[in-house]
């Protein structure tokens, strides 16, 4: 059977495609939420989703989040995302990535992909053998490489900004941060936090990462389901989305939530629930915008990448400051302010 790319009916997105290739075992989705500000850009995630519906729901939420993220970072890019259903350790092959690259190529530049959960710069190189619409490469004139360190830097900035907004000081010396997820972004964030003097409580599903974090960072470790009830100053979710919900929010014993995971709120109502509890939430699509800023240098062919990234990170932090200040003045959830901010920006651009 040849590759089958099937449009998925949608009223919320510009385009969604179901991708299947029996020869390689490929099964996944590509979602283009918006190209209002430019070509859609967003990473490719590979996870062993339990069902195709779960994968479809994830790619829709993630692609919408990319629209907001790119707008918040003031990038001339729209929002898109792609997911592959499968275990990245056991199921990923060069042939499978080539097949997915061919699927991306059929969109003719309306969607650019990059590294995300379950993917590496080496995987991006395999994709690039089948399509030019790939960023996050390690080689080439405009190669941006692994976006994880820049993503972590942006999150670290957001944590400091939230800490200053809450306490009057951005210093993290002596502050306890509960970090959920020790993937590439979470690991780099832990390094920045410990360098700044913070103490860490960490969790991950990978026992080897936990052991390494205890040795390298002197971190305390807890089981994954215990991270929500840890007594800490700050909770930094850096794994999957939807983890701030009616079950977990009542367990939180922190003053601030600021992390790198996409779509941390299970619903907009959960942002209001955090606010009702007096917990300051740094909107995720602003906090974790560093990675796409880094990747954008490749897509936009920016010649002075360090200067571009530095300037955009400063501007992104100023956006976070403005959102938190406005939310405080209006006594409302920062997430609602952040969404209104990017929607207004997109509306003015369309006009």
CATH number of the domain residue 322 falls in: 3.40.50.720
What is the model's pLDDT at position 146? Answer: 82
Q: What is the pLDDT of residue 350?
A: 58
In a domain, 297, yes or no: no
pLDDT tens track for 43-62: 999 999 999 999 999 999 99
> Quick one: tokens of 214?
């205890």
Would the pTM of this model clear 0.75, i.e. be above it? yes
**Mean pLDDT lowest among 114-123, 140-149, 174-183, 196-205:** 140-149
Question: Tell me, what's the pLDDT at 168?
Answer: 97
CATH number of the domain that 91 lies in?
Answer: 3.40.50.10860
Instruction: Return left, alpha or beta for 94; rule: phi > 0 is left, psi -120 to 50 is alpha, else beta.
Output: alpha
Both tokens assigned to 209: 């990462």
Q: Is the domain of 342 the same as that of 193?
A: yes
Q: How confident is the model at residue 145 (pLDDT cuts 50, 70, 90)?
A: confident
Catalytically annotated residue among 60, 69, 81, 92 = 81
What does the pLDDT look like over 297-316, one tens digit per residue? Answer: 999 999 899 999 999 999 99
pLDDT per position as a tens digit, 195-249 = 999 999 999 999 999 999 999 999 999 999 999 999 999 999 999 899 999 999 9
In a domain, 70, yes or no: no
For residue 20, list its beta bridge partners.
4, 27
Strand segments (E) across the chain? 4-7, 15-21, 26-34, 40-41, 44-47, 78-85, 111-112, 176-180, 199-203, 220-221, 234-237, 256-257, 280-281
Per-residue pLDDT of 329-343, as tens digits, reads 999 999 999 999 999
97/224 same-domain check: no
Look at the chain and report how many structural domains it folds into. 2
Is there a single domain that holds both residue 12 and residue 152? no
β partners of residue 237: 180
List the beta bridge partners of residue 79. Answer: 34, 41
Q: Are residues 152 and 123 in the same domain?
A: no
- 123 and 205 share a domain? no
**Shared domain check, 95 and 205:** no
Average pLDDT, rounded, for the chain: 95
- Going edge to edge, which strands form the sheet with 234-237? 220-221, 199-203, 176-180, 234-237, 256-257, 280-281
Give the pLDDT score at 347.
85
Q: Is the dihedral of CA 72, 313, 239, 14 positive or negative?
A: positive
**Domain around 165:** 148-289+316-347
Percent of the chain exceeding pLDDT 90 equals 91
Q: Is the pLDDT of residue 349 over 90?
A: no
Given 73, 96, 128, the domain boundary residue is: 128
pLDDT tens for 114-137 read 999 899 989 999 999 999 999 988
Nearest Cα to 91, choosing from 168, 25, 17, 36?
25
Mean pLDDT of 256-278: 96
Residues 104 and 233 in one domain: no
N- to C-terminal Cα separation, the chain: 45
Count CB atoms within 10 A of the CB of residue 138: 13
Q: 321 and 187, same structural domain?
A: yes
**pLDDT for the residue numbered 1:** 55
Q: Is 149 helix (H, G, I), strand (E, B) or coil?
A: helix
Same domain membership, residue 215 and residue 321: yes
Instruction: Let me know if 81 is a catalytic residue.
Output: yes
Does position 16 have pLDDT exceeding 80, yes or no? yes
Mean pLDDT of the region 78-92 = 97
Asked if residue 158 and residue 13 are part of one domain, the reply reads: no
Q: Are 41 and 79 in contact (CB under 8 A)?
A: yes
> 171 with 279, same domain?
yes
Same structural domain for residues 124 and 154?
no
| Reduced DSSP (H G I as helix, E B as strand, rest coil) percent helix, strand, coil of the chain, to 5 | 45, 20, 35
Quote the pLDDT of residue 327. 97
């Amino acid at each position: 059977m040849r590759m089958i790319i099937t449009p998925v009916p949608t009223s919320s997105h510009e385009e969604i495609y179901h991708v299947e290739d029996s020869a390689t075992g490929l099964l996944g989705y590509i979602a283009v939420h918006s190209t209002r500000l430019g070509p859609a850009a967003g990473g490719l995630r590979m996870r062993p989703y339990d069902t195709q519906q779960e994968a479809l729901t994830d790619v829709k939420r993630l692609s919408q989040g990319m629209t907001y993220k790119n707008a918040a970072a003031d990038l001339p890019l729209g929002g898109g995302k792609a997911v592959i259903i499968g275990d990245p350790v056991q199921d990923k092959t060069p042939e499978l990535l080539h097949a997915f690259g061919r699927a991306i190529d059929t969109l003719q530049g309306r969607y650019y992909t990059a590294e995300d959960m379950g993917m590496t710069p080496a995987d991006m190189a395999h994709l690039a053998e089948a399509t030019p619409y790939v960023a996050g490469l390690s080689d080439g004139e405009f190669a941006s490489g692994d976006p994880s360190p820049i993503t972590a830097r942006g999150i670290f900035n957001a944590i400091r900004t939230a800490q200053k907004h809450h306490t009057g000081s951005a210093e993290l010396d002596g502050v306890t941060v509960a970090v959920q997820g020790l993937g590439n972004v979470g690991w780099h964030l832990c390094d920045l936090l410990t360098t700044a003097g913070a103490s860490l409580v960490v969790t991950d599903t990978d026992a080897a990462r936990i052991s390494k974090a205890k040795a390298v960072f002197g971190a305390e470790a807890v089981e994954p389901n215990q991270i929500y009830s840890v007594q800490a100053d700050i909770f930094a979710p850096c794994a999957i989305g939807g983890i701030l919900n009616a079950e977990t929010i009542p367990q939180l014993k922190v003053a601030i939530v600021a992390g790198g995971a996409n779509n941390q709120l299970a619903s907009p109502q959960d942002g209001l629930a955090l606010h009702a509890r007096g917990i300051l939430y740094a909107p995720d699509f602003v906090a974790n915008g560093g990675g796409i800023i880094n990747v954008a240098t490749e897509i936009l062919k920016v010649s002075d990448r360090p200067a571009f990234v530095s300037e955009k990170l400063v501007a992104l932090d100023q956006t976070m400051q403005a959102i938190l200040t406005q939310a405080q003045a209006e006594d409302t959830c920062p997430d609602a302010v952040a969404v209104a901010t990017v929607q207004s920006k997109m509306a003015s651009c369309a006009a």
